[in-house]
């Protein structure tokens, strides 16, 4: 099936899909987008909190290879290498970030690799709530996991079937809770 760039996935979509395929479908296929306080605060934080601390480039990239597109807006200059960064407002402070964050970061990694014709061996997650910077090693396993998720997203677009809801702790605080469980 031929894809147009408006069908290409964005990094934030991948994060949503990893978190819950159903919420991804609600937002991106049904085009219903609700914002709760949690989401609004996260957006504000992303836009403002680290503006003075991390170099902001606003690089917009479209990749035909990965069938992805996105604005890579936070990049750290490390000895002349432009290393991708993803900012989250949460208080996470452990050594291995949640998978959804890592997959979103990997989406920026592969987009910027294509843009800069380079190969990264690491990138960063920054959690503003805990002021924690996490160095994520870029491995072949992560690249392949990203590819799997992109294939699953494409499969979901092609199927046109809304994923079943699965009750879990993720549902508490989810902006689509009432759509699923009322
Ligand atoms: S309420 Fe639960 S199942 Fe429904 S979209 Fe949110 S996380 Fe997914």
pLDDT (tens digit per residue) in 118-130: 999 999 999 988 8
Tokens in use for 24?
A: 């991804």
Distance CA 163, CA 38 (A): 23
pLDDT of amino acid 21:
96
165 lines ligand 1 (CB under 6 A): yes
Paired residues of 124 in beta bridges: 85, 135
Average pLDDT over every residue of 57-80: 88
Q: Please report which residue ranges of the chain form alpha helices under DSSP H.
A: 11-19, 21-28, 37-48, 99-116, 140-159, 177-181
The pTM for the full model equals 0.89
CA angle 42, 65, 33 (to 5 degrees): 30
Residue with CA nearest ligand 1 atom 7: 171
166 lines ligand 1 (CB under 6 A): yes
Which of 52-56, 71-75, 116-120, 129-133 comes out lowest in average pLDDT?
Answer: 52-56
Q: Which atom of ligand 1 is nearest to the CA of 165?
A: 3
> Does position 114 have pLDDT exceeding 90, yes or no?
yes
Q: Which atom of ligand 1 is nearest to the CA of 166?
A: 3
Q: Write down the mean pLDDT value for the chain.
A: 88
Distance CA 73, CA 173 (A): 27
> Does position 57 have pLDDT exceeding 80, yes or no?
no
Tokens in use for 86?
A: 């993803």
The CATH number of the domain covering residues in 5-181: 3.90.320.10
20 lines ligand 1 (CB under 6 A): yes
Intra-chain end-to-end CA distance of the chain, in Å: 36
108 lines ligand 1 (CB under 6 A): no
- Rounded to the nearest angstrom, the distance between the alpha carbon of 169 and the centre of ligand 1 is 9
Residue with CA nearest ligand 1 atom 3: 165
pLDDT of amino acid 105:
97
């Amino acid at each position: 099936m031929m894809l147009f760039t408006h069908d290409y996935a964005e990094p934030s979509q991948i994060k949503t899909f990893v978190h819950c395929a159903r919420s991804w479908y609600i937002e991106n296929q049904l085009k219903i987008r609700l914002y709760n306080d949690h989401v609004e605060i996260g957006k504000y934080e992303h836009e403002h909190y680290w503006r003075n601390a991390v170099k902001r480039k606003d690089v917009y990239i479209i990749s035909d290879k990965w069938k992805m597109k996105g604005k890579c807006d936070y990049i750290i200059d490390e000895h002349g290498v432009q290393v991708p960064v993803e900012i989250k407002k949460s208080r996470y402070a452990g050594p291995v970030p949640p998978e959804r964050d890592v997959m979103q970061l990997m989406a920026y990694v592969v987009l910027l690799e294509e843009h800069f014709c380079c190969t990264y061996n690491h990138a960063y997650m920054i959690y503003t709530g805990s002021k924690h910077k996490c160095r994520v090693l870029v491995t072949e396993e992560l690249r392949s996991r990203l590819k799997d998720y992109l294939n699953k997203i494409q499969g979901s677009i092609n199927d046109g079937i809304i994923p079943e809801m699965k009750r879990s702790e993720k549902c508490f605080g989810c902006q689509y809770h009432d759509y699923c469980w009322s």
